[in-house]
Amino acid sequence: MNLNATLFAQLVVFLILAWFTMKFVWPPIMKALDERASKIADGLAAADKAKSDLAHAEKKASEELRKARESAAEFRSGAERQVAQLIEDARAEGARIVNAAREAAEAEAGAASQRAKEALREHVAALAVAGAERILRKEINAQAHAELLTQLKSEL
Amino acid sequence: MAAEHAPNASEYIVHHLTHLNSLGHKQAKLVDWSVFHLDTLFWSVTLGLIAILILARAASKATSGVPGRFQAAVEILVEMVESQSKSIVHGDRSFIAPLALTVFVWIFFMNAMDLLPLDLLPNIWAAVYGAAGHDPSHAYMRVVPTADLNATLGMSLGVLILCLWYSVKIKGFGGWMHELFTAPFGSHPVLYPINFAMQMIEFVAKTVSHGMRLFGNMYAGELIFMLIALMGAAWAGTVGSGLLWVGGVVAGTIWAIFHILIITLQAFIFMMLTLVYIGQAHESH
């Protein structure tokens, strides 16, 4: 082991190499590392945001679903009510028509029987008159006996 | 093994521990500022270039998207250095953190030269040296720059200079002078020289121990690889030498595996101490 001028040469080389590293090696590597770190941080933040967005969207979707269900139920019950109303109305209308028809029929029947009675009375009165004529062999004056006849008719 | 004229163990080790320097022979004086270790310079600069080019390649291709394996590996390293520097140095780290990264990767690469076969590069160099018409037995080549005290002290001296620079930058020249004379014992005229002496001792001790620690570990590791290689080289056809050869294989395997830890750990320690010392320059007492 001897000491000599190699020492100073080594010193100079040492400083030059360190300078080179400072100038050309260190900054790009640190830059890449820092950039990657910030990229990763951004990525993590984005993932967090996506997660909270997803949770938010899920909540919103279930809310919408619930609303849709509610309105569907409301709609259905409304429709049911309306249908029931329609059925009720139809039933009432039907009953009314049936009643009206029955009343009309009854009225018709009453009138018909009345007319038949009237006709029958007329007929009976005529028969009675004809019978009496034959018995009496004499013409009955319808005019003279109208009162009697009408009385007779109303008694039938 | 290495030399054709079958050196003995001591010659083998001395040969392997001799640097290729600008003199062409072993440096005589302990300290001689006119000499360069060419092998240390070549390998440290080469490995430094490889290290920063690998890092620069990763940096130029770095994307903030999904990283490939290579980019991820470099990023792990960068994140490690970044978090360490952030916890130790409180202030502007735009130079300090890259410095720590450079220190770690560069020293790791230089240490890792220890894991190459001990004689591989020296033998190639000897062949080249011989082909160039020189005596191959004088082809010296040490391939682990961090096992050269010049390299490690050069780097720790760099760290010291940065400590002084940041001390002045953070505290101002006056503030730093004030600290030199009043810390650690307190502000009193009697204590000024003691404080100053303590601070000087601290700076010297930090720098020397910083460089020496790495050097010592790698030098010792290299030496043990040489001893293990000598066990393997003992093969001479006898049972005893055969057992030594087997022992060399086993010991070499164990030591190389253990050395994976050491080279990484020493690179990490050097980086951490660099950060700690520069961090201290940022703290006021």
Cβ atoms of residues B126 and B233 within 8 Å: no
Burial, B81: exposed, middle or buried (Cβ in 10 Å; 0-12, 13-18, 19+)? Answer: buried
Least confident of A117-121, B122-126, B132-136, B223-227: B132-136
Q: pLDDT of A5-48, one tens digit each?
A: 888 998 999 999 999 999 999 999 999 989 999 999 999 999 99
Half-sphere exposure of A97 (CA within 13 A, CB side): 6
Q: pLDDT of B244-280, one tens digit each?
A: 888 889 999 999 999 999 999 999 999 999 999 999 9
Which of B23, B27, B32, B99 is the mutation pick for testing A, counting most A CBs within 10 A? B99
Told to judge if B22 belongs to the known catalytic residues of this protein, a careful annotator would answer: no
d(CA A72, CA A80): 12
- pTM higher than the cut 0.80: no
CA angle B55, B53, B82 (to 5 degrees): 25
Cβ–Cβ below 8 Å for A21 and B154: no
Burial, B174: exposed, middle or buried (Cβ in 10 Å; 0-12, 13-18, 19+)? Answer: exposed
Spell out a b/e string for B91-108, using b for 16 or more CB atoms within 10 Å of the CB, else e. Answer: eebebbbbbbbbbbbbbb
**B4: in domain:** no
Cβ–Cβ below 8 Å for B106 and A11: no
- What mean pLDDT do residues A93-106 have? 94
Q: How many CB pairs under 8 A join A and B?
A: 147
Q: Which residue among B36, B45, B145 sits closest to A4, beta carbon to beta carbon? A: B36
Q: Which residue among B102, B149, B158 sits closest to A3, beta carbon to beta carbon? A: B149
d(CA B154, CA B157): 5
- Residue where the block lists tokens 């130029």: B60
Domain tally, chain B: 1
E runs forming strands in chain B? 31-32
**B150: in domain:** yes
CB < 8 Å from B in window 33-52 of A:
33-36, 39
CA angle B78, B205, B34 (to 5 degrees): 85
Told to judge if B142 belongs to the known catalytic residues of this protein, a careful annotator would answer: no
Q: Which residue among A8, A17, A31 sits closest to B106, beta carbon to beta carbon? A: A17
Cβ atoms of residues A30 and B78 within 8 Å: yes
Q: pLDDT of B80-125, one tens digit each?
A: 999 999 999 998 899 999 999 999 999 999 999 999 888 889 889 8
Q: Is A20 in CB contact (< 8 Å) with chain B?
A: yes
Phi, psi of A3 (to 5 degrees): -100, 140
Q: Looking at residue B3, what is its pLDDT?
A: 42
Cβ–Cβ below 8 Å for A2 and B35: yes
At B61, is the pLDDT very low, low, confident or very high (cuts 50, 70, 90)?
Answer: confident
Phi, psi of B32 (to 5 degrees): -145, 105
d(CA B151, CA B216): 12
ipTM: 0.84
**B230: in domain:** yes
Told to judge if B241 belongs to the known catalytic residues of this protein, a careful annotator would answer: no
Hey, is B37 helix, strand or coil? Answer: strand
Q: Is A31 in CB contact (< 8 Å) with chain B?
A: yes
Cβ atoms of residues B199 and B180 within 8 Å: yes
Residue type, B174: G
- What mean pLDDT do residues B17-35 have? 83
